Amino acid sequence: MLDIIEFLSRPYGLAAATALIFLAGLSDGVGTRTVGLLVNRITVRAFVLSLLASTLLFLLSAALWVWGAWFVATTLFGMTNALPHFFYVISAAYAPFLFGVLTLLPLVGPLIRVILRLWSFGIGFTVLASLGLTLGQAALSAGFGALLVAFVGWLLSDPAALLGQRLWATLVQSQRPPRSSDLPRVIPGYAPSDEIAP
Amino acid sequence: MTTLFWFGAALTIVLIIAAVAVPISVLTWWAGWSRRTKVVLPPAPTPAPAKPTPGPFLIYLSGIGDISGEYQTRYESDLLAEIAARVPGLVVISDVFGFSVQNLSMTSQRRLGWFWAWVNQERLRKGGPLKRFGQLINLRNMLHLTVSADRRYGHVYNYSVAEMILQGLVRHGYVPGSGAAITLLGYSGGGQIALATAGYVQATLQAPVQVISLGGVMNSNGSLEMITRLTHLYGTADRTHNLSDWIFPARWPIMRGSPWNQALAQGRIVRICLGPMVHTGRKSYRDASVHIADGRSYRDVTADTISELIARAAQT
């Protein structure tokens, strides 16, 4: 762990940290969004655009979480680390999401997703503690960051949903992204009274 | 030791890539990214003819050792022939390959067809040094089975295979609307495919559909809420069929609300013990060389039970 922190503390650490979170977000996006997108028969171009958008959102939410945790840690607990340093050190917590693509594995995928989240949480907690915070302070800092992400998400949920719907309608020509469980049970072309359009 | 470690690591990585590639290939096919042939919808169904409808119909879905709809072991062919001989008018359909969403045999695949043809050749070679490579076929089909059983991919996969089954039924003379009874018989891993697709077949054709699992490995599938009945046939020496009791959490007794446990409680799942059969090979359900006390071979016992279930379903 200390090796990673030392590595990330070097001058190019900020870029490396951003790249790490970006790749983690991309892998997580592939793991979690592929099914929904492909079930809706999205085009390759729209698929790539959606993944890039989700990766950027992942990166932004990571930045917000880091800022929230840093704000509490410096304001309440007297930590003196500068934000960039804090950012690239704490980015190690996102490393497990590099394996996010494994969420696609049949049957065990959802379990892997939970494991990756717990693993990430564990690393984040350890790194915060290694920066001089007590376990309680680390928990409060991380908790505040998570609350901040949730709050901003809630605040922007309506406009984001509207934007998402419009984007979806433009890309897929459909009002609502159906899930795979929405597939009809009746297969067109074979029903006795074949009234369902193919 | 180091070589062994790296070999193991490389093998694990290849396995993981293959396991991820299977659902991806199914989804990209569904999305139309990798569709090679244009999907041709069948002609509009004609009204039911006045003459008696043919049938009943039996669709046989083989286990994970299968490579195509056409390929069958001698054991399988003989068993199906025995069943057909016992049920008058039975139409047996065995040319549906349940481990492909396009009913495309493994040897017909564009990129890996040559590889699977080679593996199958080695597998069938008596005493061949590379015989064990045949396990790759099992592995490949097992991954498809997990895709069918996965809640995220299952709908797409099972919908697509069900369409292949419907095509098979129509191809063999099934008239939609005739109400002829349909039985999906799945052996081993084919049990999962049979059960998972049965709901779509039933909902589409509005005909009585039953599933018979011969030592089948099946998840707790939503089809159970739609089909007439699932009959699970097993042998006391078959260790494979028990797998699904613990690898699918929804089948655990504590999950009382699951489709499996609901169907079990309502008596729509019937378990029948055929005798001391093992899962595959000698002394298996399809072995005609071993006999029970009354003189019938294991294959006769299996054929008798299956044909009785088909005949009973056709009468109701």
ipTM of the complex: 0.86
Which of B26, B33, B150, B160 has the most A C-beta neighbours within 10 Å, making it the best mutation to test the interface with A?
Answer: B150
Q: Band the pLDDT of B52: cuts 50, 70, 90.
A: very low
DSSP for A159-197? Answer: HHHHHHHHHHHHHHS-SS---GGGS-SSPTT-SSS--S-
pLDDT at A180 over 70: no
Residue type at B81 in one-letter notation: A
Query: What are the tens digits of pLDDT across the range B286-307?
Result: 999 999 999 999 999 999 999 9
pTM greater than the 0.90 cutoff: no
A173 touches chain B (CB under 8 A): no
Q: Where are the beta strands (DSSP E) in B164-309?
A: 182-187, 209-214, 229-235, 269-275
A187 touches chain B (CB under 8 A): yes
Query: What are the tens digits of pLDDT across the range B167-204?
Result: 999 999 999 888 899 999 999 999 999 999 999 999 99
pLDDT (mean) for B25-53: 64
Which of A27, A33, A190 has the most B C-beta neighbours within 10 Å, making it the best mutation to test the interface with B?
Answer: A190
- Contact between B286 and B295 under an 8 Å Cβ cutoff? The reply is no
The whole-chain average pLDDT of chain B stands at: 89
Quick check: A180 and B150 CB within 8 A? Answer: no
Query: What are the tens digits of pLDDT across the range A123-162?
Result: 988 888 888 888 899 889 988 988 998 888 888 777 777 7
Q: Which residues of B touch A181 (CB under 8 A)?
A: 151, 155
Q: Which residues of B touch A38 (CB under 8 A)?
A: 27-28, 30-31
Q: Please classify residue B166 by burial: count the beta carbons closer than 10 Å to its beta carbon, then call 0-12 exposed, 13-18 middle and 19+ buried.
A: buried
Euclidean distance between CA atoms B219 and A39, whole angstroms: 22
> For residue A3, what pLDDT is reported?
59
B102 φ/ψ angles, rounded to the nearest 5 degrees = -110, 10
Q: Which residues of A touch B27 (CB under 8 A)?
A: 34-35, 38-39
Quick check: A34 and B19 CB within 8 A? Answer: no
Query: What are the tens digits of pLDDT across the range B238-258?
Result: 999 999 998 999 999 999 999
Q: Please classify residue A28 by burial: count the beta carbons closer than 10 Å to its beta carbon, then call 0-12 exposed, 13-18 middle and 19+ buried.
A: buried
A159 touches chain B (CB under 8 A): no
pLDDT at A15 over 70: yes
pLDDT (mean) for B96-112: 89
